[in-house]
């Protein structure tokens, strides 16, 4: 659909390191579209984003985007994908139904479309 990652090269302790960053403007636009979709206020021109489910029972610790911390989320809940391009660790950025922005392994998600 669209590429949201860009590569940045920085010098860290004398060595060149490649960092992968996400496009924040595109994430904000996608998050706003998800909020309109959840509220039921979409236009006829809007493309609906599919829902995903986090597979399995129990809990899962995921990297919370922007805080550098791992948080506990419940499996089995619905989520919307904000960034469908996996990073170098095969993680994608999602918005969970409990209101968290987390990076999760792509293999932990199952596409449930629009149920």
| Residue range 75-101: mean pLDDT, rounded | 89
pLDDT(44) > 60: yes
pLDDT band for 95, please (50, 70, 90 cuts): very high
Q: Are 1 and 84 in contact (CB under 8 A)?
A: yes
Q: What is the pLDDT of residues 57-76, one digit of tens each?
A: 999 999 998 888 999 999 99
What is the sign of the dihedral through the CA atoms of 86, 89, 91 and 93?
A: negative
Q: Is 10 left (phi over 0), alpha (psi -120 to 50) or beta?
A: beta
Residue with more model confidence, 42 or 61: 61
**104 phi and psi, to 5 degrees?**
-135, 150
Given a cut of 70, whether residue 13 has pLDDT beyond it is: no
Kindly indicate the confidence band of residue 4, based on its pLDDT and cuts at 50, 70 and 90.
Answer: very low
pLDDT of residue 86: 85
Per cent of the chain over pLDDT 90 is: 37
């Amino acid at each position: 659909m669209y590429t949201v990652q860009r590569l940045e090269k920085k010098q860290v302790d004398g060595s060149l390191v490649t960092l992968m960053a996400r496009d924040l403007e595109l994430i904000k636009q996608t998050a706003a579209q998800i909020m309109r979709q959840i509220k039921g206020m979409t236009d006829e021109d809007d493309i609906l984003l599919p829902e995903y489910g986090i597979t399995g029972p129990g809990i899962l610790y995921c990297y919370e985007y922007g805080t550098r911390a791992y948080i506990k989320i419940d499996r089995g809940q619905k989520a919307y994908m904000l960034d469908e391009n996996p990073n170098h660790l095969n993680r994608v950025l999602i918005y969970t139904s409990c209101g968290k922005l987390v990076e999760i392994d792509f293999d932990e998600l199952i596409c449930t479309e629009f149920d």
